[in-house]
Amino acid sequence: MELRKGIMATQESRKVTTQRLLEMKARGEPIACLTAYDYLTASILDAAGIDLVLVGDSAGNVFAGYDTTIPMTVEQMLYHTQVVARGVKRALVVADLPFMSYQVSEEEALRNAGRFVKEALAEAVKLEGGEYICPTIRRIVNAGIPVMGHLGLTPQSIHKFGTYKARGATPEEAERILADAKALEHAGVFAIVLEKIPAELARRVTESLSIPTIGIGAGPACDGQVLVTPDMLGLFTKFRPRFVRRYADLGAQMAEAFAKYRADVKARTFPSEEESY
Ligand code: KIV
């Protein structure tokens, strides 16, 4: 038992790589992923044993206050990735390639992906799209940069969809997502995010691939789960999709702390003698 515990501790503390994620799928160990945009959050997530930290372009919504992820730029995402990577020792750090940083040409996509690995110390990049983006994925993977795919509700295409409702609800769209997932695996991605698709479709996709699927609003059959951290902490409360489980109510706690501090300053009870020099 002691030896087993030792082995488990070593596995738990080992650096997460794309290879380890494949091994986790093979042995049926769920992969826990969350997003981060800053050093502090990233170091807390990492210390908590989160396997994959995604520097998501959801930063556009929950950090920058935009309505969509679309305005995020390469420079902004590079900065978020740099500060997150500095806070992470064990987890795999994956950076989102922002909208229009990989769609114009394969060369531009490769150059931008390279910047995330070289300048921001990301260990992989994520991009959205199915079969049509596979030549770009091959180009990036061939250069030695691991790529994560993203299917289902792909927020960078929100203006094309016109709605945030679940994808893959019709048989045609479900077959398209299944075919896209197989094409992505064939192109060399190491994992695929499945966002807001029916649980049964996510199960079919997961069972048809040897690489892990990471679900967000895609049911329990995925090989791993991801949530947007400020959503699950109750910090971002503008809207709450039904797949978000709230693990804390930090927004309310912060508001209470700020109000208490304000009251203390107004009442001149802060700082006290002990807090002064
Ligand atoms: O940008 C992001 O945070 C994401 C997750 C929703 C998977 O892509």
Using the atom order of ligand 1, give the atom closest to the CA of residue 214. Answer: 7
Residues 6+ apart with CB under 8 A from 233: 246, 247, 248, 250, 251
For residue 37, what are the domain limits?
A: 2-246
Extract the tokens encoding 59. 């930063």
Judgement on whether residues 193 and 254 belong to the same structural domain of the protein: no
Helix (H) or strand (E) holding 157: none
Average pLDDT of 8-26?
86
**Ligand 1, atom 8: nearest CA belongs to which residue?**
56
d(CA 238, CA 247): 17
Judgement on whether residues 239 and 269 belong to the same structural domain of the protein: no
d(CA 89, CA 46): 7
Tell me the pLDDT tens digit for each residue of 168-179: 999 999 999 999
Using the atom order of ligand 1, give the atom closest to the CA of residue 56. Answer: 1
Judgement on whether residues 239 and 196 belong to the same structural domain of the protein: yes
Residue 7 pLDDT: 46
User: Are 145 and 114 spatial neighbours (Cβ–Cβ below 8 Å)?
Assistant: yes
Tell me the pLDDT tens digit for each residue of 161-170: 999 999 999 9
Which pLDDT band holds residue 12 (cuts at 50, 70, 90)? confident
Judgement on whether residues 185 and 259 belong to the same structural domain of the protein: no
Number of domains composing the chain: 2
Residue 212 pLDDT: 98
Judgement on whether residues 53 and 39 belong to the same structural domain of the protein: yes
Tell me the pLDDT tens digit for each residue of 74-126: 999 999 999 999 999 999 999 999 999 999 999 999 999 999 999 999 999 99
Judgement on whether residues 242 and 270 belong to the same structural domain of the protein: no
**Ligand 1, atom 3: nearest CA belongs to which residue?**
56
Judgement on whether residues 209 and 237 belong to the same structural domain of the protein: yes
Tell me the pLDDT tens digit for each residue of 225-248: 999 999 999 999 998 899 999 999
Residue 195 is among the residues annotated as catalytic for this protein: yes
Judgement on whether residues 172 and 268 belong to the same structural domain of the protein: no
Judgement on whether residues 234 and 259 belong to the same structural domain of the protein: no
User: Are 31 and 212 spatial neighbours (Cβ–Cβ below 8 Å)?
Assistant: yes
Extract the tokens encoding 74. 């390469």
Residue 60 pLDDT: 98
Judgement on whether residues 241 and 276 belong to the same structural domain of the protein: no
Using the atom order of ligand 1, give the atom closest to the CA of residue 33. Answer: 7
Before 155, cis peptide (omega within 30)? no
Nearest to 85 by CA among 129, 118, 109: 118
Virtual torsion, Cα 181, 184, 188, 190, nearest 10 deg: -50
Lining residues, ligand 1, CB within 6 Å: 35, 54, 56-58, 96, 150, 193, 195, 216, 226, 228
Residue 1 pLDDT: 46
Which residue is catalytic, options 195, 200, 207, 275?
Answer: 195
Judgement on whether residues 220 and 276 belong to the same structural domain of the protein: no
Residue 11 pLDDT: 56
Model confidence at 46: pLDDT above 80? yes
Average pLDDT of 50-61?
98
CATH of the domain at 151: 3.20.20.60
Judgement on whether residues 120 and 185 belong to the same structural domain of the protein: yes
